[in-house]
Amino acid sequence: MLERVDYDRTQHAGYAKGRALLPVSRDNWRRAFREHAGPGRVRTVLDVGSGTGRFTPVLADAFGCAVIGVEPAERMRAVAETEAARPNVEYRSGSAADLPVPDASADLALMFLVWHHVPDRAAAAAELARVLRPGARLLIATTLADRRKDLLLYRYFPRTREIDGALFPTRAETADLFAAAGFEESALVEVHHRSAESLAEYVERQRMRALSVYEHLTDEEYEEGMAAMEADAAAETEPVPVEAECDLLVLSRR
């Protein structure tokens, strides 16, 4: 059993910088959010597990409406409040199973790389069903255990592939749980995400250790992977972007 990652412990320090969105990725995600927001007018959006506010302003730009970022880790929220503040964005304390908003008050919710951190998933699905209006969409950007991609990370830190298999639920597990809470699957799409413009830039980001999966590695495993990556980055003659297709599961509130 893998220990739960507490973002208030170390992740909050390097997350905003280590995981900053490149413009091309920001554009791809903004487009995907708009494409899959559903037919109704979007007036209130929730960013559940908003962290340091990486996607909260993107949602505000995409829909031009009020966005509420809900985040349980105080220090992640504090970074969002200083670095990702916008006039129509608000950050609140809460969690997926305890959302600080009234019944049927949101037209869209996003959970970006959050679902695998939620300990009480059935309660969270029921809570998301409570706060979303009928017909509203829930967008879940996540790895699915049975659809793991060939990530560069897995090459340098081989055990992270196995850890992801244990951490992330499968597509069927996720769909069944949400079906029981009152959602149906609308789509499962891939969004192109570029993490860095070159391996050298990727190495810089990895030095911040701002990936929760690193917390499950020993220091030796992390250092060994970093040394191999640094050697390859030093030998890089042409910059090769680090990118992958990421799954976005689109659910509709019945």
Ligand X SMILES: C[S@@+](CC[C@H](N)C(=O)[O-])C[C@H]1O[C@@H](n2cnc3c(N)ncnc32)[C@H](O)[C@@H]1O
Chain contacts with ligand X (rule: CB under 6 A): 7, 19, 48-51, 54-55, 71-73, 76, 95-96, 112-114, 117-118, 212
Q: How far is the CB of 113 from ligand X (least distance, A)?
A: 4
Closer of 44 and 233 to ligand X (Cβ): 44
Q: Which is nearer to ligand X, 48 or 129 (CB)?
A: 48
User: How many whole angstroms separate alpha carbon 18 and alpha carbon 3?
Assistant: 22
- State how far the Cα of 113 lies from the Cα of 49, in Å rounded to an integer: 8
- Residue in 73, 84, 70, 81 with CA at minimum distance from that of residue 20: 84
Could you tell me the smallest distance in angstroms from the CB atom of residue 160 to ligand X? 14
The single-letter code of the amino acid at 50 is: S
> In this complex, which beta carbon is closest to ligand X, that of residue 52 or of residue 233?
52
Q: Of the two residues 54 and 253, which places its CB atom closer to ligand X in the complex?
A: 54
Position of tokens 């499968």? 170
Residue 236 Cβ vs ligand X, minimum distance, rounded to whole Å: 27
Angle between the 11-18 and 74-83 helix axes, to the nearest 10 degrees?
40
By beta-carbon proximity to ligand X, the closer residue of 50 and 160 is: 50
The three-state DSSP-derived secondary structure of 206-221 is: HCCCCCHHHHHCCHHH
Q: C-beta of 228: minimal distance to ligand X in Å?
A: 24
Q: Which is nearer to ligand X, 48 or 106 (CB)?
A: 48
The SS3 call for residue 109 is strand
* Least CB distance to ligand X at residue 122 (A): 12
Structure tokens at 52: 């340091």
Take residue 53 and report the two structure tokens written for it: 């506010």
Pairing of strands 66-71, 89-93: parallel
Asked if residues 38 and 138 have their Cβ atoms less than 8 Å apart, the reply is: no
H or E element: which one contains 115? none
Distance CA 138, CA 110 (A): 6
Least separation in angstroms between CB 80 and ligand X: 9
Work out how close the CB of 114 gets to ligand X at its nearest, in angstroms, rounded to a whole number. 4
Nearest CB to ligand X, comparing residues 114 and 125: 114
